[in-house]
Amino acid sequence: MIIACDVVFWVLLVAGLAVRYKAGRRRLGGALLLCVPLLDVVLLAATVVSLRDGAEVDVWHGLSAAYLGFTVAFGHQTIQWADEKAGHRFGGAPRVKKPALYGRARIVQEWRSWLRFLLAYAVSCVLLFAMVWFVGGIDRGAPVLVWLNPLTKILIYSLIWPIIVTIRPGRAAEEVPEAEGRP
């Protein structure tokens, strides 16, 4: 079900953008894009029904929690990015603003990105522990908790880059003194 939801996510995204910009049906395309978050509801419902019906709790249930956490944190941003790119390429919208490459704006951008990872982590962990509670405790729900390890590693590893950028944010080419110059 997780793989199906991921595939349908991309199908709906591409279909929504194609209808919106290639077919010129902005409202219908927008409606298709609004259906994308419904996939999260479908996946959550399928997971709950599976557990309620007594399915053996396994790592796949935990994967659904991780997937939901990341789609809550990054799904809207991904759809917005794709919509802006397609709007520029096919719809005559202005060029998408490029991300900051240096300075304070870059630092803020990197920490905001890390906060999205933190949100994904928090949502995933809440769902994992909710699953453990839902199935009757740690004895039956332990298999989903194996996801705490990779999720925690992702959170910690994703913290490295904002720290590096904060320590060394870089400078624009025109800010580099001539003594440092380029070869």
- In this model, does residue 104 exceed pLDDT 60? yes
- Please tell me whether the overall predicted TM-score, pTM, comes out greater than 0.85 for this model: no
Integer Cα distance of 114 and 160 in angstroms: 9
Q: Which amino acid does the sequence have at 37?
A: P
State the sign of the Cα–Cα–Cα–Cα dihedral 61, 64, 66, 72. negative
Distance of CA 54 to the CA centre of its chain: 30
DSSP 24-88: --HHHHHHHHHHTTHHHHHHHHHHHHHHHTTPPP-HHHHHHHHHHHHHHHHHHHHHHHHHHHHHH
The mean pLDDT value for 29-46 works out to: 86
The pLDDT tens digits of the residues spanning 53-70 come to: 888 888 888 888 998 999
- In this model, does residue 34 exceed pLDDT 70? yes
